[in-house]
Structure 1
């Protein structure tokens, strides 16, 4: 889109969620500490007794393009949270970085932060899109549950393998990361 003070603004298409194929591949886990809920196609007859109403069919809307500011590496001040191959789990060695960032966020007057998940170049685009958002959501969950950050201050998004940190080695570990942006 353009440049300003060394910042390259790029429009990121379709980052609102996984593709239909990726959503179909991804298993759905029950909520933590709870049982899964199964919803069958029993019609609307039983809804009146439960007080529930049938949902109106969703109206398709055009995805809103997301602008991602990408700084040249020499201009970045970056706290990267790194992940193991094929994982969205936070490792213990990354938690001190998260704790430090938590203290900074609490003391900051910045109203909103974006947590951006990335992957290396191994795997399909659909798989990497899903894994990158899972990484960002795991960090978001940590900030809310462990640090007490208000969830309205956080936005999680995944960019898959679009913005490799180490372009010379697309499968390098430093490409599997979460980065942070101050939005307002």
Structure 2
């Protein structure tokens, strides 16, 4: 048998506990962590942006005080060209593919990473671009043409899938060995000619 005084003490404690729980202050949830500020473009992205907007007035850039509105002014003259320029703004990237293949390797993905980020920046978002595939002169010219087309398409799909670039902003075109960056004779392996060129087509 439980002593009377012990039973009474337990009854008092049992009656007091609900009131003690009610007296506890409600837990205050911790404030949500502030989202980190969006990082600005790194040096490689800035270089790509500069090259792809060369001669085009972009708001906020020194020397463009006459530009108004929230979007870059449309290029004057031919799409992507500024007056007096022979070629539209473009940038060359050396993208490494396995021999005879259009597969995007980890090295190729690394080479395209800054480009993908740059194309999503405010300065480049209003524009469309041509993704050109180029080869060196090693091998048959017709095969090189077909290979360059496959590689240009592979780069376009990579930019769409990995960086969310709108498909209508990117046009793929294979150039084969028709526009060599470094002039070479036939059947000459020149890595600098195995490249991808991104050309600004305007808005």
Task: Settle same-fold status: TM greater than 0.5.
Answer: yes
2:111 matched to 1:97?
A: yes
Partner of 2:197: 179
Give the structure with the larger helix fraction.
Answer: 2
Partner of 1:86: 100
Gap runs ≥5 in structure 1: 9-68
TM-score (norm 2): 0.51
Give the structure with the larger strand fraction.
Answer: 1
Picking from 112, 131, 134, the partner of 1:115 is 131
Q: Larger Cα Rg: Structure 1 or Structure 2?
A: 2
2:179 matched to 1:148?
A: no
The answer (yes or no) to whether the contact 1:112–1:152 under 8 Å persists in 2 is yes
Tell which has more relative contact order, 1 or 2 (C-alpha 8 A, sep 6+): 1
Gap runs ≥5 in structure 2: 1-82
Aligned residues: 116
TM-aligned CA distance change 1:174 to 1:84, over 3 Å: farther
Partner of 1:7: 86
Residue 77 (structure 1) shift: 4.5
Residue 139 (structure 1) shift: 0.2
2:155 matched to 1:136?
A: no
The answer (yes or no) to whether the contact 2:92–2:196 under 8 Å persists in 1 is no
What secondary structure is seen at the aligned counterpart in 1 of 2:120? helix
